[in-house]
Amino acid sequence: MNALTSATNAIVRVFFAALMCFAVTAVAQTDDPAPFDHLSTGFPLDGAHANVACESCHVRGVFRGTPKTCAGCHNGVIANGKPANHIVTTASCDICHDTNSRTWLTAGTFDHATVTGSCVSCHNGVQATGKSPRHINSTNVCEDCHITNLWSPASVDHSQVLGRCSSCHNGVISTGKNAGHVATTQECDACHSTIAWLPAGFDHTGIVDGCSRCHNGVQATGKHIQHIRSTALCETCHTTVAFRPVIRVDHDQVIGTCSTCHNGRDATGKTANHVPTQSECDVCHSTVAWVPASSFDHTGIVDNCVSCHVQGGSAQGKPATHIRSTDRCETCHATSAFDPVIRVDHDQVLGTCSSCHNGVIASGKTPNHPLTNAECDACHVTQAWDIVTAFNHDGITNNCFSCHNGTNATGKNPNHILSSNLCENCHLTTAWVPSTVDHTQVQGVCSSCHNNVLAEGKGPNHIPSTQECDFCHSTAAWVPTQFDHSQIGNARCDSCHNGIQASGKPANHFVTTQDCDACHRTTGWTPLAPFVHTSATYPGDHNPGVTCRDCHTGNTEAATWTSAAYRPDCAGCHANDYDPGEHRKTQTPATNYTVAELRDCAGPCHTYTDATLTTIARQRNAEHRARDGDW
C-alpha cells in the first residue's frame, strides 16, 4: 500500500513539473514578465539589497519563509555577519548600520544602551576612539567619569586616577596652587581631600618653629588686631593644634610694659583691693607668678598692718591656721618677717586657750597632767602656768586612778567587783553611784556577779546549764543569744525546743515523734536535712521533686498507700498509673502483663515469643527507677 502511494505521488510530481515548464515556456513565448513589487512582501529592496540576485535570498526558488531580519541572513553563512572584533551586543544590525554599501562599515548611529561590554572593549583606540595622549593617568573604567552622550564635560572620579595629584593639578591640565598657597613640596592630598579644596587639614607634625613664615596674614591666618604686642615667634605661646587657648605666655616675647596687657581687659590686672600704686607690675611681681611679690619696703610702717594684710586683700593676710585674734598684727609680729613672732599679747587672742596650747602651736599639757577637757583658764592664769587657782573635775574623762588610788584620793572599797582601774568607764565625776558597768573592765567570770545577789542571774525557766553566761550571752544585752549546739552532747533537741525554753514545733508541723535533728540542723531550721528512712517497707529514695507530703498525705509518719495490696512495691502507689498496653508479655498469642505481675516497676519485664515463656523476644530490665524524673 505504501509503495503504491509513493509511486503515485512521484508520477503526479513529474506531471505537474512538466506542466509548469510548459506554462512558463508558453508565457515566455507570448508576453514579457510584469515588474514585481517587492515592497508588498514587507521587505523593501533599498541600498545594496536592490542589486542582490533573487536567488541569493530565495534559495532554490523557495519564497516562503525567507528571513526578513538582518541577522537572518547576515549570520556568516548566508551573508557576511559580525567580524570577530565586533563590539559585544545583542542589538539588530539596523540599530547602527544601514543598507548602503558605502556606509555599512561606518555605522551612522550607535545606541550605547544595547552594549553589554565595558567602554574600553571598544574605546581602545582601535575599534573606537580611546584615550587621547593628554588623558590623565587613570584606570580604563571610562564610565566612572564620562557619559555616553559626550566625552566632555567629564566628572572626575578620583578613585580611578592612578597618578599623583600634581600630575593633573598643575595649573595646566587642572586647577593648581594659587599664588598665595603655602610654600610646600607636599602632594595635594597631604592637606586636601578629593571632595573639595576647602576646608583643608594641615598636618603640622614636625613643625616646631618658623610659624610666621606662613601665618603672616597673607598665606595663612596671622596675628589679629587685638593680639598683644609681641615678637613673631608664634610657637612660644601657641600650639599647632589650635590658636586658642594658648598653652602659655612667654613673657620674653612680649614687647611693651606689663600694664599694656595686664589691664583687666587683655589679661588679669590689679584687683580691686590691690595696694594703690602707679608702678609697673614687675616692680614687685615676677613673670613666674603673681605671688609671692618679690619685694615691699615696710620702712616707717608701725601699725595698721591690716589695711593691706587681710585675707583676700592686697597683701598676705592671716593663714587658715592662724590663732583666733584681733587684727592688730603689730602687737605680735615684726615688719621684717611674720615668723617668728616677737611676743604673744594674750589680750589680742580671741579663741580658747587650747586652740594654741595644744602641744603643737604652743606648750600644752604635760604627760602627767590630770586628764581633763576643761580649758586651761579653768585652773591656770595667763601670767604663769604654776599659778593654779582651782581644780574642777568638769571635763576630766579618764585616768581617774592617777588620783583615786586610795592614797591621793578615795579609791575602790573592799567589796568592789574585780575590775581594772579605769574608774571613768563606769563612774561619773559628780558621784560614785549610780554607775554603768563596762563589762570590758570586769575581771573574773560572769557568775561572780550575775548570781541573783550582786546582779541579775538565771531566771526560773533558764535552760539547765553549768556554762558561764558569756557562753551564750553578750555584754550588750541578754537577748538575742548565740547558742553553741556543739556542746549539747546526746541530749534531745526537744528537751529545750519545747515552745517554752526555746522555739518548738509550730501548729502546722508534721506530726512525728522523731527528735528535731532527724530533719533539722543546728545551724538553722531550714533548709531541711535529708531524712533517712529506716522502715522495712520503704520503697527507696525518689526523685528530689517528690516531697514528704506526696506520700505522707495525712501529715503523719504513716505513708498513704493508694493500692495497699501491693505494698511495699511500686504498685502500692502507682497501680492506678499502670497501662497494660505498654507492657507486652507474649507475642503469640498477644498477651500483656498484669499489675500484680509487674508490681515492682524497677524489675524485669521481658517480652516472650509464646506462652511457654522460654524464649525472650525483647529484653527489658529496670525500665523505671524511683529517682527518675518521670516514667
d(CA 594, CA 581): 10
Q: Please check the confidence at residue 12 and state whether its pLDDT lies above 70.
A: no
Per-residue pLDDT band for 313 (boundaries 50, 70, 90) equals low
Mean pLDDT (whole number) for 244-266: 88
Q: What digits encode the pLDDT tens for the residues 543-555?
A: 877 888 888 888 8
CA 619 to chain centre: 59
Longest distance between any two alpha carbons in the chain, whole Å: 181
C-alpha radius of gyration, the chain, whole number: 61
Q: What digits encode the pLDDT tens for the residues 56-70?
A: 888 888 888 888 888
Q: Do 187 and 166 touch, CB atoms closer than 8 A?
A: yes
Query: Beta strand pairing status for 607-610 and 584-588?
Result: parallel
Residue tagged 498477651 (cell numbers): 591
User: Could you tell me the pTM of the whole model?
Assistant: 0.31
Q: What is the pLDDT of residue 14?
A: 40
- Under the phi-then-psi rule, with left for phi > 0, alpha for psi from -120 to 50, and beta for the rest, what region is 486? alpha
Task: Name the helix (H) or strand (E) containing 8.
Answer: helix 2-30
Q: Please check the confidence at residue 113 and state whether its pLDDT lies above 90.
A: no
Mean pLDDT (whole number) for 370-394: 76
- Which distant-in-sequence residues (6+ apart) come within 8 Å of 457 by Cβ? 447, 450, 451
Distances in Å between the Cα of 359 and the Cα atoms of 179, 355, 356, 391, 605 are 79, 10, 8, 21, 97
Q: Please check the confidence at residue 405 and state whether its pLDDT lies above 70.
A: yes
d(CA 62, CA 48): 22
**10: β partners:** none
Cα angle 312, 314, 320 (rounded to 5 degrees) comes to: 35
Q: How many CB atoms lie within 10 A of CB 65?
A: 8
Q: Where do the DSSP E strands lie in 173-269?
A: none
For 198, what's the count of Cα atoms within 13 Å in the CB-facing half-sphere? 2
Distances in Å between the Cα of 508 and the Cα atoms of 410, 479, 504, 511, 512 are 63, 27, 12, 8, 12
d(CA 52, CA 569): 111
Q: Give the phi and the psi of residue 362 in degrees, each rounded to 5.
A: -145, 170
Judge residue 226's burial from the number of C-beta atoms within 10 Å of its C-beta, 0-12 exposed, 13-18 middle, 19 or more buried: exposed
Query: Quick one: cell of 199?
Result: 576646608
Cα torsion 405, 410, 413, 418: sign? negative
Number of helices (H), then strands (E), in the chain: 5, 4
d(CA 537, CA 566): 11
Q: Calculate the average pLDDT of the chain.
A: 82
Mean pLDDT (whole number) for 185-200: 86
Mean pLDDT (whole number) for 519-533: 85
Distances in Å between the Cα of 600 and the Cα atoms of 526, 595, 624 are 34, 9, 9
Q: What is the pLDDT of residue 36?
A: 80
- Which distant-in-sequence residues (6+ apart) come within 8 Å of 64 by Cβ? none
Query: Quick one: cell of 273?
Result: 583691693
Q: How many CB atoms lie within 10 A of CB 186?
A: 12
Q: Per mean pLDDT, which range of 179-188, 297-306, 608-617 is the poorest?
A: 297-306
Q: Do 81 and 75 touch, CB atoms closer than 8 A?
A: yes
Share of residues in the chain with pLDDT > 90 (%):
7
Q: Do 240 and 207 touch, CB atoms closer than 8 A?
A: yes
d(CA 104, CA 70): 12
Show the 3-state SS of 469-523: HHHCCCCCCCCCCCCCHHHCCCCCHHHCCCCCCCCCCCCCCCCCCCCHHHCCECC
Distances in Å between the Cα of 230 and the Cα atoms of 211, 234, 237, 260 are 14, 9, 11, 11
Mean pLDDT (whole number) for 10-18: 41
Q: Residue 236: helix, strand or coil by DSSP?
A: helix
- Closest by CA position to 629, among listed 547, 542, 551: 542
Q: What is the pLDDT of residue 13?
A: 47
Q: Do 471 and 463 touch, CB atoms closer than 8 A?
A: no
d(CA 631, CA 628): 7
Query: Quick one: cell of 463?
Result: 535552760
Q: DSSP class of residue 11?
A: H
d(CA 376, CA 551): 83
Per-residue pLDDT band for 22 (boundaries 50, 70, 90) equals very low
Task: Name the helix (H) or strand (E) containing 586.
Answer: strand 584-588
d(CA 199, CA 116): 41
d(CA 559, CA 511): 12
Q: What digits encode the pLDDT tens for the residues 139-172?
A: 989 988 998 888 888 889 898 898 899 988 988 8
Query: Beta strand pairing status for 591-592 and 616-618?
Result: unpaired
Per-residue pLDDT band for 102 (boundaries 50, 70, 90) equals low
Order of all β-strands in the sheet with 591-592: 591-592, 584-588, 607-610, 616-618
Q: What is the pLDDT of residue 24?
A: 40
Q: What digits encode the pLDDT tens for the residues 588-612?
A: 999 999 999 988 888 888 999 999 9
Q: What digits encode the pLDDT tens for the residues 214-248?
A: 888 887 888 888 888 899 899 889 988 888 888 88
- Closest by CA position to 298, among listed 319, 329, 323: 329
Per-residue pLDDT band for 340 (boundaries 50, 70, 90) equals confident
